[in-house]
Amino acid sequence: MRKLFSILTASSLLVTSTFSVVACAKKYDFNSNVWVITDGGTINDLSFNQSAWEGASKFVVEQKTGELPENWKDVNWRASYFEPSGHTPSDYKTGYVTAKIAGAKTLVLPGFVHGNTIGWAADLVDNIIYIDGSGQGVHAQMKPDRPLVKNIVGITYQAETSGFLAGIATAIYLNAHQEEYGGNLNIGVYGGMDNPVATSNYLWGFLTASDIFNEIILGDKSQYPNLGKLSETVKQAVLDLRATQNLTANNKAFELKRINKVQKVLEKNESWFSQSFQAGEGKAISDELLSRKASVIFPVAGPQTQDTIDRIQYNKSNAKVVGVDTEQGKIYGENYIITSALKEIVESTYDALNNIYSPVCGYDNNSGGWNNDQVDSTQCWINTDQSSADHPTWTGIETTKSVPKNLVDLIHSSDISSKTVFDEIADILQKLYNGTAGTEKIASELFTQSLTKTYDDQNQLKTWILQKINDAL
């Protein structure tokens, strides 16, 4: 499947605007208007690429049937796709050109790796949906002397928010399972490659959640009274989870315990990244985290979630995993995945396509084209970045047997008008990370630099961060 379309000649691609291909024992009709060009992975990666393709295909089904059936995946229409054979600019450009020749009007580009070639793609098609990146300040053909392109919808996710929410869920889960881990409640994290807006922010949010949790249960309530008020809420959440999972035997003497990080946040040579998003490359760092007695590992490295699970099995560990991007409990099983930090890529891709192919963007269904004179600039997303900060359904955490719905609802609300207290904390963390709270921007080119701006020592967030959070509650 990797070279599904690259093996076709340009002339054969031009024969028809719809492709009918047998894929994975299912026959699909591929709509040639909307193409997903993967980040070099496959559309069956159970992660980023697959989610983008499913979101695009969901839109195509609705377009072709006139409505969105509940069982839309049973309909044989799909968005077209191209899986580059490598990860070089040339590989991505081959995908863009192939799609253009085949009649593409819109390219969906999942992953920040397209950031080095997106200006080149923008010259080829009517519009682009850039998943997990900004479309602002992009020059045509990536040349500074060319004009800025104006046909990109940037979809950005405040992954530090999802990471934080998943970190709070993890802290509550570990406390509910104290006996299983001998009271040593340890977390470890790693990413594929360092990127402050797509990978490292997940890790940062998850780590800071453990320290904020510790501050809530063990901190100086006179210094941070609003945080201190949450201690009973947290304890009740732990007790409720213990009751749900029949772990109530020792509740009379039950006390909350701190969450420990197995990695040294201020150690310059600490390992945080596997340096790849390829399957198989996460084994070594997973082994290292398990050797340090991590109870829960949060891998932000695409298919390397499977690597971590494989090493847990090999090492006969009782460690668990927090999934990333998609509901990975449904993929890898809830015996290993306690929850997932979500980027709702399916929903955001679908939402963006619905916006582009609508009258607010000047789209005429009869002509199949866009009229710039008919654009409602207040509602059309083209030439804007759309953030999960304004679309709260685009981030969140997964409901599983380990983190049931009542706990998810306590931690996060998808309704922007009824935020939870943890949503409020996540909001201020997001602003601190991105430098929009009137303070120094924490997000840095290197993850180690972000950590240096965040921590006074291994177990203590900087005072000004805690004060900002306390004051916001």
pLDDT at 163: 98
pLDDT at 341: 97
**How far is Cα of residue 386 from the mean position of the Cα atoms in its chain?**
14
Bridge partners of 385? 154
pLDDT at 3: 37
Instruction: Read off the pLDDT of residues 138-149 as tens digits, 9 standing for 90 and up.
Output: 999 999 999 999
Instruction: Read off the pLDDT of residues 428-461 as tens digits, 9 standing for 90 and up.
Output: 999 999 999 899 999 999 999 999 999 999 999 9
pLDDT at 22: 36
pLDDT at 16: 35
Residues 345/36, Cβ–Cβ less than 8 Å: no
Q: Tell me if residue 415 falls in helix, strand or coil.
A: coil
Under 8 Å CB-to-CB from 175, ≥6 apart: which residues?
185, 238, 256, 257
Whether the pLDDT of residue 24 is over 50: the answer is no
Domains in the chain (CATH in brackets) are 10-156+347-387 (3.40.50.2300), 159-344+394-472 (3.40.50.2300)
Instruction: Read off the pLDDT of residues 60-116 as tens digits, 9 standing for 90 and up.
Output: 999 999 999 999 999 999 999 999 999 999 999 999 999 999 999 999 999 989 999
Quote the DSSP letter at residue 319: -
Whether the pLDDT of residue 26 is over 80: the answer is no
Bridge partners of 21? 28
Q: Is the CA virtual torsion 218, 219, 222, 225 positive or negative?
A: negative
Percent of the chain with pLDDT over 70: 94
Would you report the helix, strand and coil content of the chain in percent, each value rounded to 5? 40, 20, 40
Q: How far is CA 2 from CA 6, 37, 41, 130, in A?
A: 8, 11, 8, 21
pLDDT at 355: 97
CA distance 346 to 431: 25
Tokens of 100: 């253009």
Tokens of 329: 């409990």
Q: What is the mean pLDDT of residues 9-23?
A: 37
pLDDT at 15: 35
Q: What is the mean pLDDT of residues 306-329?
A: 97
CA distance 350 to 342: 16
pLDDT at 417: 86
Tokens of 431: 């602003």
CA distance 68 to 346: 14
